[in-house]
Structure 1
């Protein structure tokens, strides 16, 4: 009766693994989807990418701010060693001119002496030695020679490039988590295989014990069973180590608590991918194309250094008392600046930007070739894994039938215990190979979807 229960349990396990339900590659387990989202939130590379994208947005704001008026408030106090005045000859000339004006005003003849009772004013200082100033300045760029607009477009394409790089990084993070999750499922499946093998060995221990009591077997047979049990224990220990390691990997990738990760029971199943699924442009390619556009606008920005620039400048003094005789209270004016020759710096910088754009173009062509190769490789790997799964299922069927036959022969003294253990080992290996084949299928599908740019999670 016990043997029948064990056989039924084995058949149920084989049916559950050998005839899995097919699903589309995008129907991920809810637990896996949750882990991927946590991994995306935790990724330091993604956080760095988001910061760089925000910096590009700030660069755009800086380019726009060129056309905003700049208003500056100024204040200062200066003390000179002495007042700045006219020279003596000029002062004498000013006094004489003052006397002539006064004579004409009072109706005195030109050659008559100047009256002593009329006071004269000294010539004012050109600048008092104590100078207190408070003013406001206005600087307003009206036309930057297209330099600001080209800088704005370069920053916009740079931001878009960084956003695409972020999407590409998300795919990498998701692939790592999916692979670790599937490895954990493979380890969990191996545990089930080992448990089944353990039940087989327990059944054999029972029959060997009875056979020894009846003189139909020697203690050597029992020792061989014990050795097989020790080997199985070693495999179980290896399972525990792999399980602990994968829990640590998932914890590092997602930040999920180890206690929750230990509760996961992922399962490996065959997956299918629609052959008609058309490939889309990869985010890596889009990022390189946007980076290429950004460098081209950067080259235009450098060239625009030779286009005339127009600006308005204004100035207003709040304190008039300390202004010199030559200082205006306010002024406003428009000006133009035309950089005719800057020592070839703009031309060389523009050439450097063009060379950088050529570098991106080469990277785009190289990436497209590598992606096409990866799609072909992933498709071949997927087809090979499907074929391997079909073969392994036949191996499992044959291994189970062989074990049942040899086990019956052994119980009828027609086979040795070594034959039984070898047949049991074949069953165990075949079940391991099936789980590994499922794992390879899922890896090939994930790689194929990623290569085609249609991986979703």
Structure 2
């Protein structure tokens, strides 16, 4: 049983290692790049601000509760002009008005709780909410555009790697032919059929070919580094990729320019500006709010006193009068409650609301101008991409024919060189022509793929499944 368990563990370990070391396909490269792309991540982070604004707008109707308090020493004096206490029905006291100062001092405490809740915003919150919804849709459309750009970048790097890989194969085949022709040249030199100069030409061609191989190896290493930075996949796995260039066949566009991400983003932006204009025009509509508050007032160790008598003197009985001098231990007033519905109506706001609505209209006009300009440029871009795609397809046929002619010419040159009917220079020229024709054919495939991808992007129809 233990041996079986060990065997299963070894198989699982071998499977995981083989998976970790297998060559990544294009989908894995793309998925890794989409996760790591800095511009895409920054845009996704910025989009979170809109989500927070939406939540903040929804929370505006939630009640708010504030509590505040204060404690300290109070000393207040009030100047009073009032009649004295009228005791005329009981005593013969003349009426009159007297100046008096009332002083209150002591330690005070105040606590207050306020609750508010917006009931009606005049429609401004509703329109701002719809504007934020349109803004979010606009940001999602731009996110699609950024994702397509990442696909184009990874596809280009992947195709460049394939171009280098195929070019290396072309050089390797050329090297094999030159090695075989070098052996023929060695025999011919021994028999005196060619001169040492002709023999050196073969050696020079081999050295030139070795330099090209080293150059392409450097380009491959640079591309591997680029893909490693973009995707985070190690070079050991990337080196196992053996891509092959093949032309991309596109179908007739199913979408129009108006369905591109940029135009959809501008359309949502224009809709958002329409709602913003409506929101700013609600400045004159009254806003309704529910309000409630509770107070506590306390006075401790206080003294209430007056500068003059509060009970006038009574000469008939010899009463000298009396001032107020009261020292209550504490005085508490609670609760003081207030609740009701209030409204705010900006009858004239100094034209601020009108200016804000005017700015919103200008923003809308700018977006309309941007859409007009974008439609013109994208229409020209589509026509240019279609023309480039047609030319690239024609170039593939031309370069394929040139490669076939160069192959036939090299076969003929090799026969003539083998029988001493041609010099080494003619053989080298034929070899170089074939090498150049094969490389140009691979470049034509690369250019055709770029043109096809850009044509699909021109109508936002980039289908990754058609690429590889």
Q: In 2, are the aligned partners of 1:128 and 1:324 still within 8 Å (CA)?
A: no
2:289: which partner in 1?
A: 311
3-state SS of paired residue (1:413): coil
Distance of 2:143 and 2:331 partners within structure 1: 61
- Report if the CA contact (8 A) 1:406-1:420 is conserved: yes
Residue in 2 that maps onto 1:141: 118
> Partner of 1:385 in structure 2?
392
CA contact (8 A) 2:109 2:298 kept: no
Paired residues of 2:107 and 2:299 also in contact (CA < 8 A): no
Offset at residue 205 of structure 1 (A): 0.6
TM-aligned CA distance change 1:362 to 1:324, over 3 Å: farther
Q: Please state how far the C-alpha of 1:408 moved relative to its aligned partner.
A: 0.7
TM-score (norm 2): 0.81
Q: 1:143 to 1:204 in 2, by over 3 A?
A: same
| Displacement after TM superposition at 1:171 (Å) | 0.8
Question: Which consecutive unaligned segments of at least 5 residues does structure 2 have?
Answer: 1-22, 94-99, 301-329
> How far apart are residue 398 of structure 1 and its match?
1.3
* Cα distance in structure 1, aligned partners of 2:386 and 2:190: 58
| 1:184 to 1:127, Cα distance in 2 relative to 1, 3 A | farther
Distance 1:129-1:84 versus aligned 2 partners, 3 A rule: farther
Counterpart contact for 1:135–1:317, Cα < 8 Å: yes
Deviates more, 1:420-429 or 1:143-152: 143-152
Q: For residue 193 of structure 2, give the secondary structure of its aligned residue in structure 1.
A: coil
Alignment partner of 1:301 is 2:279: yes
Does the 8 A contact of 1:76 with 1:132 survive in 2? yes
- 1:74 maps to which residue? 68
Distance 1:307 1:197 in 2: 83
Pair 1:31-2:10 in alignment: no
Q: Among residues 279, 282, 289, which one is paired with 2:267 in the alignment?
A: 289
Give the aligned partner of residue 253 of structure 1.
230
Q: Are positions 1:455 and 2:432 aligned together?
A: no
Are 1:336 and 2:347 matched, yes or no? no
Answer whether contact 2:114 2:293 (CA < 8 A) is retained.
yes
1:302-381 mapped onto 2 (5 Å cutoff): 302-318=280-296, 329-381=336-388
CA distance in structure 1 between the partners assigned to 2:230 and 2:164 by the alignment: 18
Following the alignment from structure 1 to structure 2, what is the Cα–Cα distance between the partners of residues 403 and 307? Answer: 88
2:408 to 401, 407, 419: 401
How far, CA to CA, are the matches of 2:147 and 2:111 in structure 1? 56
Unaligned runs of 5+ in 1: 1-28, 101-109, 115-122
After superposition, where does 1:192-271 map in structure 2 within 5 Å?
Answer: 192-271=169-248
Q: 1:372 to 1:391 in 2, by over 3 A?
A: same
Find the aligned partners of 2:331 and 2:415 in 1 and give their Cα distance: 121
Whole-angstrom distance in 1 between the partners of 2:335 and 2:104: 13
**Which residue in the other structure is 1:50 paired with?**
44
CA distance in 2, matches of 1:142, 1:180: 58
Q: Tell me, what secondary structure is at the counterpart of 2:353?
A: helix
* Structure 2 counterpart SS, 1:266: coil
TM alignment of 1:414-453, pairs within 5 A: 414-453=421-460
Q: Distance in 2 between matches of 1:30 and 1:358?
A: 48
Map 1:59-208; keep pairs closer than 5 Å: 59-80=53-74, 82-84=75-77, 87=80, 90=82, 93=84, 96=85, 110-111=89-90, 129-208=106-185
CA distance in 1, matches of 2:92, 2:143: 95
Matched position secondary structure for 1:317: strand
**2:162/2:245 contact within 8 Å kept:** yes
Q: CA RMSD in A?
A: 2.6
Whichever structure has more strand as a proportion of its residues is 2
Q: Contact 1:141–1:312 at 8 Å: present in 2 too?
A: yes
* 1:141 to 1:278, Cα distance in 2 relative to 1, 3 A: closer
**Inter-CA distance 336–325: structure 2 relative to 1 (3 Å threshold):** farther
* Partner Cα distance (2:227, 2:349) in 1: 57
- The structure whose RCO (Cα within 8 Å, separation 6+) is larger is 1
What is the deviation of 1:172? 0.9
Q: 1: distance between equivalents of 2:183 and 2:243?
A: 34
CA distance in 1, matches of 2:333, 2:453: 79
Deviation digits for residues 323-344 of structure 1 (CA, Å, limit 9, x no counterpart): 9999971111222211122222
